[in-house]
Structure 1
Amino acid sequence: MSVEEEINDRIGEVRTDTFDMSFGEISNLHKNRELVIQPEYQRLFRWSNQQRSHLIESILLELPIPQIFVIENQDGVLELIDGLQRTSTVLQFIDPDSVGLDPLTLEGCTLIRALNGLTFHDLPLSLRLSLKRAPIRTVVIKKQSRGFLRYEMFKRLNTGGANLEPQEIRNCSARMIGNEGVKFYSFLVDLTQDSNFSACSDYLPQPEKEKKGAEELVLRFFATKNARNLFRGSVRDWLDNYMEQVLLEHHVFDYAQEEAEFRNVFRLARTKLGETAFLRYRGTMPVGSLPPAYFEAISIGISNTKADIEHKSADTLRNVITALVQSDAFRAVTGPGANSREKMETRIQLVTDALRNA
């Protein structure tokens, strides 16, 4: 099949409709739960009050506003997948109760300074109606569209943008696949609540936690365990590709077996190495925050040696790993330039050998 024929075959697999919707209509749809915003998948507000105020100012001045994308679920309900900041800003201004926030007071408006200090109800009626009637171009991805292409559309809309972090994009993208995507996303979230994993991953920096870093670590564990062959130097692409293989069932993922393995590995990590299992060490003292390269090497090293270490002394194993992570050999494959599959395999093998021979 030629490139042209392949493209022609795929055109139309995503069915869309495009029209202008007023912000008043959007507000009513949201109130009636006919338009869903999922703040657990996209953090609701990252814009500052000034950024939000600039949007309201732009709408009142009839300046162009970028379009939004919604997806039509099987029951006909629309779910917002791109344009969260714009939509939620207007909802907060027009009807703050609908998003559970305090009224937005405009600040930092530079084109119409008289707007500063005003809320929606401070505006003259003509401006309130103008804002509600202002249109925004809305692209609806119809429910008849194929799940994988809906997934790809969401990912491409958001990849490279400043609003969402890589794991948040994966989480939202998974929903586009349908039930299998929701199942996998929920699986990752559930495992972050495992008490042993949670204790060991608590050393993630707070900004990383806010970016769904714990969920990314869970995904990274399974990718390192099951798909090191997909790694080409970019962690982001590797995790994206692995998750896609699971969602599209190109990779067999036995949920019960994988969950049991995960919980067992992190039980051993915590009981044998302690809650600082994945940290750097200076002498006998753990230092700094959790480095992902240490996490993947030590967690998979434990996975490789479960039967060997089950009855070994915790003190012995902790001393062995503490010495290993300070060794020149381990540092050589975890420092700058360590993002290669060869170095990943080497650091995993170093941990595996150290635990097995302890």
Structure 2
Amino acid sequence: MTVETSDEPTPYVEEVFGGEKTGVEIEQIGTAGDGQIADPWDPEKIRVSTKNFSLRNVLDMIDSDDLDLAPDFQRNRVWKPRQKSRLVESLLLQIPLPAFYFAEDTDGMLRVVDGLQRLSTIHGFVRNREFALTDLEYLTNQQGDHFDDLPPALQRRLNNAQIVVHVIDPTTPPDVKYDIFKRINTGGEPLNSMEIRHCMSRARSRAFLKRCAQNDAFYTATGGALWEHVRMHDRESVLRFLAFRLLGDIESYDKFGSLERLLDRTVADLDDETRVDDVQLEQLYADFDAAMIKCHDLFGRHTFRKWPLGSDYRSPINRALLESWAVTLIEVPSSHLAAHSDRIVQDTRRAMTSDYAYIDSISSSTGDPRRVTTRFRTAATIVGYDA
């Protein structure tokens, strides 16, 4: 669901989720060719086996960390008490659940690909006493019960319930796993790319992205709009900065062909200590902190927001502006920015008003290589610093 704002000189569409504005501008990343598989799959490399598990077995795997539920995934809060209770009631009534999908790593770790909210709900009820049953349709005698309050026969029925799981073999290529995830995602609210990426990544990258997203300078620069964002736009914004910072030369972007591929590769790099070691992680964190401070010092309450001439309206966060300006300013001395701040701000606002190539580069098909190059080069030209 979206809400359009048409009374501003530079139109935007703000994302709405759960009936509330998210503070972030909707971004059309793709190009005309998106939606097609760039490299044809080799069916021989796609291996998915089907297994039956008891819920007791699956819950034990979660408790022993053999099954990763991506514990800081934000979207679990979406389910209402009635939805959670009706799921448990279905199991108690011995109604089969739709199949789950797990992805297996080479080290044997399993990650939930489809069914995260269902398993989180069941685990929360059976193991953690997170909620009591409410608004039941048939088992009204169990209204208000926690798991421990259920009769022993019903407790056994829950623990012994069988679920069907399709397990994606670790030999399946990562790009194919990611596309499978997008195709079989069956939740009521489809996951976005960052949410999928988060569920399929490892603890190292997740912890680092979370640390950056909780950075004080990031909170200040974004006016708190991305704090613990319900659609994970906070983590995605951090990741985009890290991706282009690690990329270095913007011309190298062409070899990835799309922003999603660059972000996927960056997550893989962050998860691999041989590609990005701990010293590099600390430097990236310091760079991110410094970039946020510089951007806010320059643009104030309009940091990472469209701010055309003739308007002082505070528009939603624009992620293309965030990545391009943060990466551009990291190499610019604060003394240069202080000396030229008024001119830089005015030239930027002018570009947002009448430079249509620049406006397009931060508004639509933002993953297109030409538009990526345009927004980075425009920011660099406006800043006017030659190292």
The aligned runs of 1:263-342 (5 Å cut-off) are 263-282=289-308, 283=310, 285-303=312-330, 305-306=332-333, 309-329=336-356, 330-337=358-365, 339-342=367-370
Deviation of 1:73 (Å): 8.6
CA RMSD of aligned residues (A): 4.2
Q: Where do 5+ consecutive residues of structure 1 fail to align? A: 1-5, 176-181
Equivalent residue, structure 2, for 1:58: 90
1:102 corresponds, among 115, 120, 131, to: 131
Equivalent residue, structure 2, for 1:228: 253
SS at the partner of 1:53? helix
Equivalent residue, structure 1, for 2:214: 193
1:188 and 1:215 in contact (8 A); partners too: yes
Q: How far, CA to CA, are the matches of 1:122 and 1:261 in structure 2?
A: 52
1:284 and 1:322 in contact (8 A); partners too: no
Residues 79, 198 of structure 1: alpha-carbon distance in 2 compared, 3 angstrom cutoff:
same
Q: How far, CA to CA, are the matches of 1:337 and 1:73 in structure 2?
A: 33
Equivalent residue, structure 1, for 2:22: none
Q: How far, CA to CA, are the matches of 2:141 and 2:76 in structure 1?
A: 24
Q: How far, CA to CA, are the matches of 2:60 and 2:379 in structure 1?
A: 57
TM-score when normalising by structure 1? 0.71
The aligned runs of 1:1-358 (5 Å cut-off) are 19-27=51-59, 37-41=69-73, 43-68=75-100, 82-97=114-129, 101-103=130-132, 105-107=133-135, 109=137, 112=138, 114=140, 117=143, 119=145, 120=147, 124-138=151-165, 149=172, 155-156=178-179, 158-160=181-183, 161=185, 162=187, 164-175=191-202, 182-202=203-223, 204=225, 209-225=229-245, 226=247, 228-230=253-255, 232=257, 235-244=259-268, 254-282=280-308, 283=310, 285-303=312-330, 305-306=332-333, 309-329=336-356, 330-337=358-365, 339-356=367-384
Deviation of 1:356 (Å): 0.8
Deviation of 1:198 (Å): 2.5
Deviations 1:176-202 (A, max 9, x none): xxxxxx433333222223332221123
Deviation of 1:216 (Å): 0.7
Residues 173, 323 of structure 1: alpha-carbon distance in 2 compared, 3 angstrom cutoff:
same
Residues 24, 171 of structure 1: alpha-carbon distance in 2 compared, 3 angstrom cutoff:
closer
Q: How far, CA to CA, are the matches of 2:107 and 2:263 in structure 1?
A: 31
Amino acid at match of 2:291: V
Structure with a larger share of its residues in helix:
1
Q: How far, CA to CA, are the matches of 1:347 and 1:72 in structure 2?
A: 39
2:305 and 2:316 in contact (8 A); partners too: yes
2:136 and 2:143 in contact (8 A); partners too: no
What is the number of residues matched between the two proteins? 331
1:201 and 1:290 in contact (8 A); partners too: yes
SS at the partner of 2:292? helix
SS at the partner of 1:272? helix
Deviation of 1:345 (Å): 1.5
1:200 and 1:275 in contact (8 A); partners too: yes
2:197 and 2:264 in contact (8 A); partners too: yes
Q: How far, CA to CA, are the matches of 2:55 and 2:206 in structure 1?
A: 31
Q: How far, CA to CA, are the matches of 1:285 and 1:315 in structure 2?
A: 16
Deviation of 1:25 (Å): 4.3
Residues 251, 342 of structure 1: alpha-carbon distance in 2 compared, 3 angstrom cutoff:
farther
Higher relative contact order (CA 8 A, sep 6+): 2
